[in-house]
């Protein structure tokens, strides 16, 4: 199990968004991520390959993965690890590598928006809406240059295809980890559509949070179960002994 914690990256699938409330009653958005166990399919110098998902058909170049994992992973990522010697092939990595209050960065592919204009794609203000301008409301305006350079520069913001790009969101917080159902609940929104693959990487702990030190058993406060047990009346055996003593005293 120690070798698993050397890996801080996991593949997951975006399931849904919802909302929860924190300790002081503030509403916060959350994202539910289904992170089934990933598998180590290859070891290299200071690096390992982890894979997730499975393909129906494997290529000849993926025969090594099929031999190791029993299937061809749908997506593969190479990550750096320390102590690679203790990590074996076909080792499974699950959501237990994360814990609440961990800080993660999540990478995904954004939703596709199709061919869009400059107002939606780049936030242009558009043209004037008065003085007879009937078809310039969402137009980009002039894109030409003067005689020098006599051309349009590369990278000019214009209408075109929007979305389906790689995007990374940093500084996200892990709210809950459910190893039984392979679920990871993260505060905030993540890129991509439902059932889209995500790369979740642990970057540290949320700033300003220090885990409380473990309290000794003698000094720690009693929980509800222990407190109720301590308040229970004596057992029937003790009450019978007490009645016998009182009867002897009266005699």
CA angle 50, 186, 165 (to 5 degrees): 60
pLDDT at 2: 42
pLDDT band at 145 (very low <50, low <70, confident <90, very high): confident
Can the peptide bond before residue 145 be classed as cis, meaning omega within 30 degrees of 0? no
Instruction: Find out whether the peptide bond into 149 is cis, omega within 30 degrees of 0.
Output: yes
Average of pLDDT values for 98-122?
Answer: 95
Rounded to whole angstroms, the Cα distance separating 92 from 145 reads 58
DSSP H or E run through 47: strand 47-52
Confidence of residue 219 (pLDDT cuts 50, 70, 90): low
Provide the pLDDT confidence category of residue 208 given band limits of 50, 70 and 90. Answer: confident
- The number of CA neighbours under 13 Å toward the Cβ of 127 is 13
Give the phi and the psi of residue 120 in degrees, each rounded to 5: -75, -40
pLDDT tier, 1 (very low <50, low <70, confident <90, very high otherwise): very low
pLDDT of residue 58: 81
192, exposed or middle or buried, with CB in 10 Å at 0-12, 13-18, 19+? buried
Predicted pLDDT at 177:
95
Compute the CA torsion angle 37, 63, 48, 74 (nearest 10 deg): -40
pLDDT digits (tens, 9 = 90+) for 52-103: 888 888 888 787 788 777 788 888 888 888 765 567 787 888 999 999 999 9
Which of 60-69, 95-104, 136-145, 225-234 is least confident? 225-234
Q: What is the CA radius of gyration of the chain?
A: 30
* pLDDT category of residue 232 using cuts at 50, 70 and 90: low
198 in helix, strand or coil? strand
What's residue 109's pLDDT?
96
Query: What pLDDT, on the 0 to 100 scale, is given for residue 250?
Result: 59
**Pair 157, 122: CB distance under 8 Å:** yes
CATH number (2.40.30.10, 3.30.1300.10, 3.20.20.70, 2.60.130.10) of 1-112+166-217 reads 2.40.30.10
Round the average pLDDT of the chain to a whole number and report it.
84
SS3 41: strand
Domain boundaries, the chain: 1-112+166-217, 113-162
């Amino acid at each position: 199990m120690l070798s698993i914690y050397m890996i801080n990256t996991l593949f997951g699938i975006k399931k849904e968004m919802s909302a929860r409330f924190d300790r002081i009653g503030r509403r916060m958005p959350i994202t539910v991520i289904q992170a089934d166990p990933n598998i180590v399919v290859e070891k290299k110098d200071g690096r390992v390959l982890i894979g997730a998902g499975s393909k129906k058909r494997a290529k000849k170049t993926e025969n090594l993965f099929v031999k190791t994992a029993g299937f061809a992973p749908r997506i593969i990522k190479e990550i750096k690890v320390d102590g690679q010697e203790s990590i074996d092939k076909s080792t499974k990595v699950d959501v237990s590598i994360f814990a609440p209050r961990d800080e993660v960065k999540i990478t995904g592919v954004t939703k596709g928006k199709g061919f869009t204009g400059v107002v939606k794609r780049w936030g242009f203000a558009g043209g004037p809406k008065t003085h007879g301008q009937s078809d310039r409301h969402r137009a980009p305006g002039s894109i030409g240059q003067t005689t020098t350079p006599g051309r349009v520069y590369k990278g000019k913001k214009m209408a075109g295809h929007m979305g389906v790009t790689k995007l990374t969101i940093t500084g996200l917080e892990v709210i809950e980890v459910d190893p039984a159902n392979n679920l990871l609940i993260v505060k905030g929104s993540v890129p991509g559509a439902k059932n889209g693959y995500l790369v979740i990487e642990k970057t540290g702990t949320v700033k300003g949070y220090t885990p409380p030190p473990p309290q000794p058993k003698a000094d720690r406060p009693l929980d509800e179960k222990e407190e109720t047990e301590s308040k229970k009346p004596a057992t029937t055996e003790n009450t019978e002994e007490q009645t016998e003593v009182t009867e002897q005293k009266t005699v």
